[in-house]
Structure 1
């Protein structure tokens, strides 16, 4: 079983545990999210890709599916400086999300997998008696491709 299959099964399981079915429309949306996992797509971009697979699906259906997947913490809704909500798979059940590098020239978003803020988080919890549930960090700069040009 490849990684795509195991991710698909995990999503199906999470939906089932929440009392929801993997309808054909949800299945197509999940399929697009898995295929384009590294792309941080907007709802409209996801809709266009889903619509290319099934012309009968509506934008409202895709939005509802994204909302359900966000509520179930299967995906994260991220908003960068362009104000457009983008979606990112969250299948590892980790306490924290990864961080992002955002190129200010081309808009490319790259993921940083290591959580380098864990020590700072522990200090914040001690110093302020504040229980941190999550943190998000985006570095704004110029990617290697744009720097080379």
Structure 2
């Protein structure tokens, strides 16, 4: 069992729930997906191989994955919540193109250092951060 599966199984047990076959399929699809995703896109990807997984099951499972600390919802684009898996990944910032909606993940030691300085100045402990910067990507700038 992969570590993220164990985290989810433990979470489900604590909440008197079970890892059903559809939940397992959804979990695997989320962790196979290296891009940000919305629920409808995830549903379309899953339905290619698993016709028996319903849209409703996906909508009910995603909040469980969020509550378990495996994914988060850092962005809202075009009236859709966009998710990413976070288990085993560091916080990072998102550069979002306002023309084509491309999402670029970026890490920055300078930003982490600045956030640490700000937190220290205000006697504050950062548990996580979500930084989204809107702008125009290189491809759209060159159009």
The TM tier, using the shorter chain, reads 0.7 to 0.9
Displacement of 1:147: 2.1
CA contact (8 A) 1:32 1:46 kept: yes
Aligned partner of 2:33 in structure 1 is 36
Q: Does 1:17 align with 2:13?
A: no
SS of the aligned residue for 2:78 comes to coil
Aligned partner of 1:26 in structure 2 is 23
Displacement of 1:143: 1.4
Q: CA RMSD in A?
A: 2.1
Displacement of 1:123: 2.3
| In structure 2, C-alpha distance between the alignment counterparts of 1:22 and 1:79, rounded to whole Å | 27
Displacement of 1:115: 4.7
Give 1:99's match in structure 2, choosing from 93, 102, 107. 93
TM-score normalised by the chain length of structure 2: 0.83
TM-score normalised by the chain length of structure 1: 0.80
Which consecutive aligned stretches of 4+ in structure 1 deviate over 6 angstroms post-superposition? none
| In structure 1, C-alpha distance between the alignment counterparts of 2:141 and 2:55, rounded to whole Å | 37
Aligned residues, how many?
Answer: 139
